[in-house]
Amino acid sequence: MNKTANRPVQLALTTEILRQAPLFRVLNEREAQAACAPFRLRQFDKGEMIFQHGDPGVCLYLIGGGRVRIFLPSPDGREVTLRIYERGDIFGELAVLDEGARTASAQAMDNAFVYVLYREEFMALLSGNFKLVQHVIRMLAERLRYTTTYTEQLAFMSMPARIAAALLQLSTGVNVAEQSNVITITQQDLANFVGTTREWVNRVLKDFAARHWIKLARGSIHILDLQALQRAIAV
Amino acid sequence: MNKTANRPVQLALTTEILRQAPLFRVLNEREAQAACAPFRLRQFDKGEMIFQHGDPGVCLYLIGGGRVRIFLPSPDGREVTLRIYERGDIFGELAVLDEGARTASAQAMDNAFVYVLYREEFMALLSGNFKLVQHVIRMLAERLRYTTTYTEQLAFMSMPARIAAALLQLSTGVNVAEQSNVITITQQDLANFVGTTREWVNRVLKDFAARHWIKLARGSIHILDLQALQRAIAV
DNA sequence: CGATTCATGTGGCGCAGTTCACAGACTCTG
DNA sequence: CAGAGTCTGTGAACTGCGCCACATGAATCG
């Protein structure tokens, strides 16, 4: 693969992207313009690590393009993907807020370009804007909620249910309003996402496919019956 | 059991307790005194529910005495204890900050008395004190960190490892500096804590006891070899 | 002081999920 | 087009853990 092909030439962060991030949506155009300045562009190749579990956290990231996978590595090589972020999403802000180490690892799933913002700059933005502070609190609360739900899934749901939940979650990510709902993910990545083996994911997916809930292709999954998947979560 | 016996007669919240809470530690005596006013005392019997998963969250809680267990219930009656809070700890603040429903349930583990603070009062405190805002952010970040670690444990660790981790965590809770480290908990409660069955906990504990890592008694567990338990987590 | 209740101890069955092993199919490279 | 790498598909053995069943001892209560 030609690693430099298809690279965006875009450099500076625009308010258009900034205000896609829920965190910064509250800013008006003028505030957004000011907030853009301290961000710096960084590019990552597909598969490249952005940061690792245990690293000191000194900056947060805003995705300009590509997808980024947040995951927990385990000593024995297994891993669980906690979340997949896309253009406009912000991640890595936790370590910035409490000055701790990274709790998870981040890896580029595609050739990605992200904008980084260092702690001091972010704090400066915060101290000057109470609206932003309120939003940070709300965002943290929302994320905490998400994590608890995720924990719930890990603790109680069977693998088919977890896989169905993952499919629905992934399908609502990129695509906004589409009939032929396609998820671009390998079965191995899906296995990591729900914390199981590729083989087991394959068996479950084949079962779903036999029920005509989904259609399998190499590297992607077509969702045919959303309701059925939703019902499957309850199992 | 006499439900009204051993009840503290204490009524009003004192700054001494308030400032034990990490969240309010930043307040000086005068600020703390003002912050105490809106708190109201409520008492719960051992085993009583304080709030339930799904309830609308309208207030946060500060523990004046007793222990409170935060747990996730599952449809089929199983449950996982997420955390145990004690005197000086605050819980239930999440739903207050983002006005959502409770993500978990809270139950009094002993006869407990807690101070409740309603959303409007809390927001009033927040808006008037930026130090407090910073602390809320930091506390949320810390809690997110904890939850992620916990998820990690659920996802990867074997039952013996999870049980060892739980023992260590519980032992560092109440007791500060003790040689004969005793945890007061039933095997059933421990099973709920790590999300498994009592039988399985019993087998694992017996195994630990056979290795002289712990000593079992009715309703309590004596930790004999802390290092061994720490090593066991890695398995 | 029996009786009832609560906590611990143990065996066995069953199955969801893991591990290993290997095979076919697609895709990108030289 | 050959060969290497990647993704998918599938069988079979193995196991961690849930679930049922029941026994025993400690605490509590009338």
**Minimal-distance CA residue of chain B relative to A128:** B130
Q: Which has the higher per-residue pLDDT, B167 or B10? A: B167
The pLDDT score that the predictor gives to residue A178 is 45
Q: Is A128 on the interface with B (CB under 8 A)?
A: no
Mark out the alpha helices in chain B (DSSP H runs). Answer: 15-18, 29-36, 93-98, 119-127, 130-156, 159-171, 187-194, 198-210, 226-233
Q: What is the mean pLDDT of residues A153-162?
A: 86
Distance CA B108, CA B92 (A): 13
With an 8 Å Cβ cutoff, are B148 and A74 in contact? no
Q: Is A75 on the interface with B (CB under 8 A)?
A: yes
Mean per-residue pLDDT over chain A, rounded: 83
Q: What is the pLDDT of residues B114-150, one digit of tens each?
A: 999 998 898 888 877 778 887 888 888 888 888 877 7
Q: What is the pLDDT of residues B44-74, one digit of tens each?
A: 888 888 999 999 989 999 998 888 888 888 7
Q: Is the pLDDT of residue A78 over 80?
A: no
**Minimal-distance CA residue of chain B relative to A151:** B151
Q: Is the pLDDT of residue A22 over 90?
A: no
Q: Which of residues 188-227 of B touch strand D (CB under 7 A)?
A: 195-197, 199-200, 218
Are A150 and A81 contacting, i.e. CB atoms less than 8 angstroms apart? no
Q: What is the pLDDT of residues B200-213, one digit of tens each?
A: 999 999 999 999 99
Res. A116 pLDDT band, cuts 50 70 90: very high
The pLDDT score that the predictor gives to residue A179 is 44
Percent of chain B with pLDDT over 90: 30
Are B66 and B116 contacting, i.e. CB atoms less than 8 angstroms apart? no
The pLDDT score that the predictor gives to residue A48 is 86
Res. A208 pLDDT band, cuts 50 70 90: very high
> Distance (Å) from the C-alpha of residue A58 to the closest C-alpha of chain B?
14
Q: What is the pLDDT of residues A50-60, one digit of tens each?
A: 998 889 989 99
Q: Is the pLDDT of residue B176 over 80?
A: no
Res. B153 pLDDT band, cuts 50 70 90: confident
**Minimal-distance CA residue of chain B relative to A103:** B145
Q: Is the pLDDT of residue A214 over 90?
A: yes
From the list B72, B94, B138, the residue facing A152 with the nearest CB is: B72
Q: What is the mean pLDDT of residues A212-231?
A: 91
The pLDDT score that the predictor gives to residue A60 is 92
With an 8 Å Cβ cutoff, are B82 and A137 in contact? no
Distance CA A231, CA A167 (A): 13
Q: Tokens for B132, please give them.
A: 């407090």
